[in-house]
Amino acid sequence: MRNSFPPTLKIKKSKEFKRVQEAGNKLFSRHFLIIADRSVTDSSRIGITITTKVDKRATMRNRLKRRIREVFRLNQQHFTKKIDLVVIARRDATLLAYEEIQRQLLGLLRRAGYLKPDKTKNRRTEIAAAKK
């Protein structure tokens, strides 16, 4: 597994952001809006938008971006297909711990069918059912 996040995995141009935002499927949580669309490249990519309304401090916005990218990097091999994601942070998203960011983002993607089911969660459910 690679430890870097190459530029080819980032959506950078406003034209690419607009394409995903216009054609993509919108997924909502309390702190994030994810817009997902099929990828036009041979890999999944991510674009992140965090405005000053979310937090005026650039350090906090950049920390949140790094955490979102890390969730994407560690889980991109679990996507069911190649997709482009635009993640838009909402108010108070910078206050979240990494685990909560991960839970919200992966939960949205899993419910929408973009992520393979979590086998460890199913295994826990099976074990609990067997004990009853």
Extents of the domains making up the chain: 7-131
pLDDT digits (tens, 9 = 90+) for 14-23: 999 999 999 9
Q: What is the DSSP letter of 8?
A: G
Class of domain 7-131: alpha beta
How does pLDDT run across 57-115, given as a tens digit for each residue?
A: 999 999 999 999 999 999 999 999 999 999 999 999 999 999 999 999 999 999 999 99
Q: How far apart are CA 48 and CA 85, in angstroms?
A: 8
Of the candidates 109, 79, 91, the residue with the CA atom closest to the CA atom of residue 55: 91
DSSP code of residue 93? G
Shortest CA distance to 32 belongs to which of 72, 5, 1, 3?
72
